Amino acid sequence: MLIVVVVVLVLARFLYRHRAGRCTSTRSLNGKTVIVTGASSGIGKATSKDFARRGARVILACRNVEKAQAVADDIIKVTGNSEVVVQELNTADLKSVRSFAKRVLEEEPAVHILVNNAGIMGPWARQVTSDGLELTMATNHYGHFLLTNLLLKRLKDSAPSRIINVSSVAHFFAWKLKLHDMNFENRFYSSWRAYNQSKLCNVLFTRELAVKLQGTGVVANSMNPGAVGTGIFLKNDGAPTWLITFMNHALNIVLQAAGKNCELGAQTTIHLAVSEDVEGISGKYFEDCRETWCSWVAKDPEAARALWEVSETDVNLRPGEMFYRYF
């Protein structure tokens, strides 16, 4: 029986990786500045390494500065590009987001590519940040929403520029957006429900952002990296039962054995950041370097507009930070 399982996993791995999309663009990023959030491991690390190979100035925006610096040193060694720097950013902390954006605006004359990649599968018990936001939503959606808005003027001044929001197939499992209870204060919470909702928000945010950026030279797209063995399910703290812990480990083993590696998982992000084929395309959802269909909820322009308004309130976006109004 074990032999059969191994054979099936190996075959699935071969077929899945064989059909996985790959960025074919050889475009150089010399003279370009790129920001990648959550770049200290997994897909973010692989994405950053590719950008560095293309000659970009790459800013690794990470919560764990020490870990990120080790990654930066490795990328510099492998690529020979010394323009790989680390800046502290915790997307779950709005104060950290504002501090990071302030440093970028003071130190970087241009920002050409913003990759909102950082994400977590939140804890089993609901946790609230110092800003009163549910931790998963804060990390995966609210922090990136605020960061993008704070950098919009610099991105517009640097046009043509691109914004890539890393979502997930998990957004299909968020069947309804509870706009009056985005942080699970008055309804049942689970880490999966929060994660699925946050990934839906990534797609809806991208859709409305693209509308607001029309004619500015800045494009925004969202994407699904696919099934990638990043170990995200093992970071889910405090599983309530041994069965759930076992299932998390089993799922991680399956992804490691049959899914994409991080380099393949990064290909769609890289494609959206550099490819000539997506020049001028905005507000779309991609997988395997191709535009594909998203959930019916994620296609709703009214939901996207309403989410934007709720997000502005929840992150306390100030009038002087609403740069999209001046485009």
The pLDDT of residue 327 is 44
Q: Indicate if the pLDDT at residue 13 is higher than 60.
A: no
Give the least confident one: 3-17, 51-65, 119-133, 175-189: 3-17
Host H or E run for residue 103: helix 94-107
What does the pLDDT look like over 144-199, one tens digit per residue?
999 999 999 999 999 999 999 999 999 999 999 999 999 999 999 999 999 999 99
Q: Where is pLDDT greater, at 263 or 114?
A: 114
Lookup result for tokens 């074919």: 24
The pLDDT of residue 188 is 95
The pLDDT of residue 23 is 95
The pLDDT of residue 324 is 84
Q: CATH number of the domain at 31-225+269-326, out of 3.90.1150.10, 3.50.50.60, 3.40.50.720, 3.40.50.12780?
A: 3.40.50.720
Average confidence score pLDDT of the chain: 90
Q: Indicate if the pLDDT at residue 228 is higher than 50.
A: yes
Q: Could you tell me the pTM of the whole model?
A: 0.90
CA distance 225 to 40: 17
Share of the chain above pLDDT 90, in %: 79
Counting beta carbons within 10 angstroms of the beta carbon of residue 281, is it exposed (0 to 12), middle (13 to 18) or buried (19 or more)?
middle
Pick the catalytic residue from 16, 142, 189, 195: 195
What average pLDDT does range 17-23 have in this prediction?
74
154, 209 contact by CB (below 8 A): no
Return the SS3 of 219. strand
The pLDDT of residue 155 is 98
The pLDDT of residue 306 is 98
| Residue 304 CB contacts under 8 Å (≥ 6 apart), including other chains | 204, 205, 207, 208, 211
What does the pLDDT look like over 229-284, one tens digit per residue?
655 555 655 556 655 565 555 555 555 555 578 899 999 999 999 999 999 999 99
Q: Residue 21: pLDDT band by 50, 70, 90 thresholds?
A: confident
- Whether 195 is catalytic is yes
- φ, ψ of residue 235 to 5 degrees: the values are -90, 5
Share of the chain above pLDDT 70, in %: 83
Instruction: Show me where the domains of the chain are located.
Output: 31-225+269-326
Q: Which long-range contacts (CB under 8 A, 24 or more apart) does 239-246 make?
A: 239/124, 240/124, 244/124
